Structure 1
Amino acid sequence: MIARPRARLTRRLVDWGLPVLGLVALVALWWLATIVFSIEKFLVPAPDDVVEAFIGQAGFLMEQTWVTLLETVQGFAVAVVVGISTAMLIASSRLLEKMIYPLLLAVNAVPKIAIAPILVVWMGFGQFPKIVMVFLLCFFPIVISTATGLKSTPAELTDLVRSYDASRLQVFFKVRFPYALPQVMVGLKTAISLAVIGAVIAEFVGADAGLGYVIVQSGASADTPLAFAAMALLGIISIVLFYGLNALEKVILPWAEENR
């Protein structure tokens, strides 16, 4: 009984300690490279230059972080609703699958950076084109993972439930969707990483706020430390959102975690 809590504590220390150790090693190598190779600050700033830029512009950077975070979460939420609904349609009918899948593949094949300027022309420089860009990057992995999960339900399970006179809706919500949830979460975790990329792509093309806008403006003025600080914040947003979904998965799908 005592060994189990100790093993759990050791696992948590490893789970948290190794990423921190990797980050410390990366920062140390970065700092050492700037010293050994005498790299100019406007090319690659040292870690202390980035920290100084962050402290000096903390309020401004937090405002821009909030803008990018809001765009990311809103676009991702829309992609979840529309993506899961589309996957349900695909999984419910082979005819719809043959009709919708080629269209999805065609849309996904178009480079999203090519769509960004068109979205600005259509929708202006506000928040809406950024949300649409996030949606476009998140939609495809959510649909594919959810549809795959829904179609992978063992036939014997659905036959068993139907033998008890269950309706199609009952079979779907009692068997197929719960069985597909681990696969759905895979798609969501893939999409949440792409969501931040989508927001930044849209901000690169046309924006007056957001961390992508900060990076563009910093590059134009050769303020590389500020650009690195913005990139570090983007990394933090991605990590927090990903591990937030990971924690949610452990809460709603504890059995899936145990099976792993």
Structure 2
Amino acid sequence: MSESIEMTAKAPVRSAPAPRRTTPAPRRRSTRRGPLHPATWAPTTVLVLILGLIWSAIAAEHPYILPELSEVGLALVDRPEVFLTNAWTTLSIALAGVACGAGTAFVLALVMSEVPVVRRALMPLAVVLNVTPVVALAPGLVLAFGFGMTPKVVVTAIITFFPVLINVTTGLRAVPPSVLHVFETLHASRTEVLWRARILYGLPYTFAALRVVMPLSIVGAVVAEFVAAGSTGGLGTMIRNAASTARLESVYAAIACLAAMGVLMLALVTAVERRVLFWHESQRRAST
């Protein structure tokens, strides 16, 4: 007994391991770049300058193909009220057309997502309407609705209808089966599944469609002004009249106004999308 106690006393005492010192992980620097960062605006600025130099070189050699950029700028400065008035006319047609076309497409997509028979009946007709040249429909629309603003709005609505219908229909059917199983477990009604799941998952697809059709509505309005008889206002009518008298500076000044309108509409949709879809993965990736 004494020997065991003596051996125990002579055994080395193991000390507890010292705690390891952990260094805090370095913070990740945010890679988000604002609009004033040179990496944001410099590439586009350089490209615009290069295109401007190419434009000026072609205009100097072939003045009957392209006007000088200074002439285009003078056309905008000399008659700003004319361009603003016609731009508002075109914008009114575009907004009314996209409201009618996109609104109708959204409602039909909701119905088609809930009633498969309606989807099978309407989708082929929507495809036929999409592949039909709108220019061919314009004379008939003028005869049906007169020479006012209505046929132009209808043409714009037809152009913007199909992209919204396809995207929203796809988005409403993009709900994961696991989410639908949870709603089924909770005994949710079809209306609750529609508002709390399908529309929520369909919002990114809806905004993707709006990013396409909002600038496209400007194209639809101009096409309607080109082909609709009796058109007296709008940038499309202004381009047609200026081209008939070879006033190229007015043609390209009107085109510049149309491009600015399309960019502003796209920027507006993008800003609203960031506000509404702040929770979505696509917006979180864009902010990092």
TM-score (norm 1): 0.92
Q: Deviations over 1:68-88 (max 9, x none)?
A: 011111111122211110111
> Which of 121, 129, 132 lines up with 2:151 in the alignment?
129
Segments ≥4 residues shifted beyond 2 Å = 1-4, 7-25
1:34 paired with 2:59, answer yes
Counterparts of residues 44-193 of structure 1 (less than 5 Å): 44-193=66-215
CA distance in 2, matches of 1:120, 1:8: 50
Cα gap change, 1:110 to 1:235, in 2 (>3 Å): same
Q: Deviations over 1:103-135 (max 9, x none)?
A: 101111101111122222222221111111110
Deviation at 1:18, TM superposition (A): 3.0
Deviation at 1:10, TM superposition (A): 5.5
Q: Does the CA-based 8 Å contact 1:61-1:211 persist in structure 2?
A: yes
CA distance in 2, matches of 1:136, 1:159: 37
Q: Does the CA-based 8 Å contact 1:211-1:234 persist in structure 2?
A: yes
Deviation at 1:2, TM superposition (A): 9.5
1:247 paired with 2:263, answer no
Q: Does the CA-based 8 Å contact 2:167-2:206 persist in structure 1?
A: yes
Deviation at 1:12, TM superposition (A): 5.6
CA distance in 1, matches of 2:87, 2:72: 16
Q: Deviations over 1:170-197 (max 9, x none)?
A: 1111111111111111111111122111
Cα gap change, 1:69 to 1:222, in 2 (>3 Å): same
1:234 paired with 2:258, answer yes
Could you say which residue in structure 2 is the equivalent of 1:210?
234
Cα gap change, 1:144 to 1:224, in 2 (>3 Å): same
Counterpart secondary structure, 2:250: helix
Aligned residues: 255
Q: Deviations over 1:14-40 (max 9, x none)?
A: 3344333332322222112222xx112
Counterpart secondary structure, 1:222: coil
Cα gap change, 1:63 to 1:8, in 2 (>3 Å): same
- Amino acid in structure 2 at the alignment position of 1:194: L
Consecutive unaligned residues of structure 1, counting only runs of 5 or more, are none
CA distance in 1, matches of 2:44, 2:202: 30
Q: Does the CA-based 8 Å contact 2:89-2:233 persist in structure 1?
A: yes
Q: Does the CA-based 8 Å contact 2:71-2:249 persist in structure 1?
A: yes
Could you say which residue in structure 1 is the equivalent of 2:247?
223
Percent identical across equivalent pairs?
A: 25
CA distance in 1, matches of 2:71, 2:139: 33
CA distance in 2, matches of 1:11, 1:195: 27
> Whose helix fraction is larger, Structure 1's or Structure 2's?
1
CA distance in 1, matches of 2:120, 2:114: 12
Counterpart secondary structure, 1:8: coil
Could you say which residue in structure 1 is the equivalent of 2:20?
none
TM-score (norm 2): 0.84
Q: Does the CA-based 8 Å contact 1:125-1:208 persist in structure 2?
A: no
Computed over aligned residues only, the root mean square deviation of the Cα atoms, in angstroms, reads 1.7
Deviation at 1:11, TM superposition (A): 6.9
